[in-house]
Chains A and B, each alone.
Chain A
Amino acid sequence: MCLVKVLGVGSPHGADQLAWKVVEQLRQQTTLRPYLGNVLDCVILNRPGPSLIDYLQSAPTVVIIDAALDGGPTGRVRQYSATELLESQIQFSSHQFGVQQSLALAQALSDLPEGLRVIAISVSDEDQAMTEPDCEQWAVRLAPLIAARLDSIVSAVS
């Protein structure tokens, strides 16, 4: 079992691909290569909905990467704890059961891992429909930054 699991959450549409593309780039980062396959595992998830809870159990430390409409400029990277995310106002819908909602449900079920971190990549309103090549370009730019964060996380737990 790996110690750190990275979950790239998204879909094949517009800027929602960002986390997938970032995960693809993370796998190519030289700083992370020594860890991949043993300490560190990176997967992509296609709109997992509440199934995300299962993946939260897959490692002692879980890092979720997701594109976020949080008012920030496209490409801004912020890291949140589960507590910070859960303190925000949450609305539920079976058709819009996203990361926040899944984490809230996981917390209610006492299934929230202590080492959970969420890395949010901001997408501005006007960039929501960005193309796949644009997503790939952003991923190339952002991957080293996110890899550095992961490097420190992996170093701390391994």
Chain B
Amino acid sequence: MTESREVSIRVPVLARVEGEGALDLSISDGELTNVQLRIYEPPRLFEKFLQGRRFDEVPDMVARICGICPVAYQMSAVHAMESVFACQPGPWVREMRRLIYCGEWIESHALHIHLLAAPDFFGYRSVTEMAKDYPMEVRRGLKLQGLGNELIRILGARSVHPVGAAVGGFYHAPSKSAVAELLQKIKQALPEAEALVRWVATLDVPQHEQQFHCVALRHEHEYPINEGRLVSSSGLDIDVSEFQHHFKEQQVPHSTAFHCHLNGEPYLVGPLARVNLNRDKFPEVVKNLIDELPVKWPSFNTFHSALARAIEVFYALHEAVRILSAYQMPDQTRQSITPQAGVGYACTEAPRGILWHRYEMDQQGEVVNAIIVPPTSQNQARIEADLRQSLQDFGLHNDDDALRQHAEMVVRNYDPCISCSTHFLILNVDRC
């Protein structure tokens, strides 16, 4: 195999989660001439389904967009519609929304770290292989994931496609005894979450520094989850309603999911972008732990995304302890809604990054028009840019199998919903 070879690596099925995808790589004379993350699943048309639906149907509908991050879709939706209806749900609802979102971060991040990222870094084909050699770590990951699910359940009634969220608040308030029981479990898990962070920091990840824009929410007083302004590492600082003035979605021939660019360039959303832009907002206990890690922040090594996820698991558990410790039964769990016509926007931090919603509502409180921009589509262009540089750094002289494995690891590292399938890609290689 020489540098002058011409190779076409086609990964025809990145069987998807939130999309079916494939990966095409072409190498000619030692250069990558084509890198395409193809998402070919037919559009799911959720935005169209929402048209004509009443506001109170929307949270349960958008939850079905994703089985891993349904809370994110619900939270972006309820905030956007409340802005149309001038609804202020109050401090109890605000805290509970933060709590249920912490649950989603914990379950989603724990799942990704242990089922997808760690097997890659250790060279295993799956978590089952890895579990034989790292049973304690896998058990810890499953326990943390289970706690995240419990946090979602206590407010959402179930952890998959929860049904507790409403425009104006929640349909149900947890009992104080249920809260006390869960609080105890979470407190007991804090040392394990700290151990998780320290363990992930020791993983032998590729050292590939890249240049890219980070985009995340930023809040004046707290680590961003449900609220904040949209900021970037290149100086952007806008209200979420201005998203479409700066971020442009465009169709590309090889993907049914839109690519999204910030002022014409790819950008990163997700845990690494959040930590890079907001680590000063962590409480002291998290800051102190970060200071002890052998990683300099901000980090522009995208493989530090797994560490950023672990840090956010640690943070989310501490945040849950804070919220649950101060829990009081509310006088009412939700505000009544008086529908009115208008346009509302919201952006929240899904586990995989910013999730932007826009709703146009009519006088009866029915959806006239909806736009949803999920994090996975926002990261698509960045993933392709990362693949170009990472594979060049890895060495195009490596054989096709090694290139494919490295490419899959790069894709999975972003935790795109399509990452679920990237563990069993089928590879076709055409040699010229």
Contacts and interface: CB of A to CB of B under 8 A. Distances in A.
The answer to whether A and B come from one shared complex is: yes
Interface of A: 11, 46-47, 49-51, 53-54, 90-97, 101, 104-105, 107-110
B145 A108 contact: no
B126 A110 contact: no
A51 B421 contact: no
B131 interface: yes
B128 A108 contact: yes
Interface stretch (B110-118, B231-239, B385-393): B110-118
Interface in B104-144: 111-112, 115-116, 126-129, 131-132, 135, 138-139, 142
B146 A92 contact: no
Contacts of A46: 158-160
Contacts of B347: none
Interface string B1-33: 000000000000001010000000000000000
Contacts of B423: 91-93
A108 B112 contact: no
B146 A105 contact: no
A108 B131 contact: yes
Nearest to B424: A91
A92 B128 CA distance: 9
Contacts, number: 66
B17 A93 contact: yes
B420 A95 contact: yes
Contacts of A92: 115, 126-128, 423-424
Contacts of A104: 128
Given A51-B149, A54-B146, A95 B67 contact: yes
B80 interface: no
B317 interface: no
B417 interface: yes
B68 interface: yes
Contacts of B112: 94
B115 A109 contact: no
B132 A94 contact: no
A148 B421 CA distance: 40
- The listed residue with most B CB atoms (<10 A of its CB), out of A92, A94, A107, A108, is A94
23 contacts: A50-B111, A50-B145, A51-B149, A54-B142, A54-B146, A90-B128, A92-B115, A92-B128, A92-B423, A92-B424, A93-B15, A93-B423, A94-B111, A94-B112, A95-B17, A95-B67, A95-B68, A95-B417, A96-B420, A105-B131, A108-B131, A108-B138, A109-B139
A139 B111 CA distance: 33
Given A92-B115, A95-B68, A109-B131, A51 B160 contact: no
Nearest to B107: A49
A94 B16 CA distance: 11
Nearest to B139: A109
B393 to A, nearest CB: 27
B149 A105 contact: no
Given A11-B160, A105-B127, A51 B420 contact: no
Interface hub of B68, B142, B417, B423 (most chain A Cβ within 10 A): B142
A70 B129 CA distance: 26
B243 to A, nearest CB: 27
Nearest to A50: B142
Given A94-B68, A94-B419, 6 more contacts: A50-B145, A51-B142, A91-B423, A91-B424, A93-B421, A107-B128
A47 B160 contact: yes
Nearest to A53: B142
Contacts of B127: 92, 105
A109 B160 contact: no
Given A51-B145, A105-B128, A94 B135 contact: no
Nearest to B160: A47
A94 B160 contact: no
Residue of B15, B68, B128, B419 ringed by the most chain A CB atoms within 10 A: B128
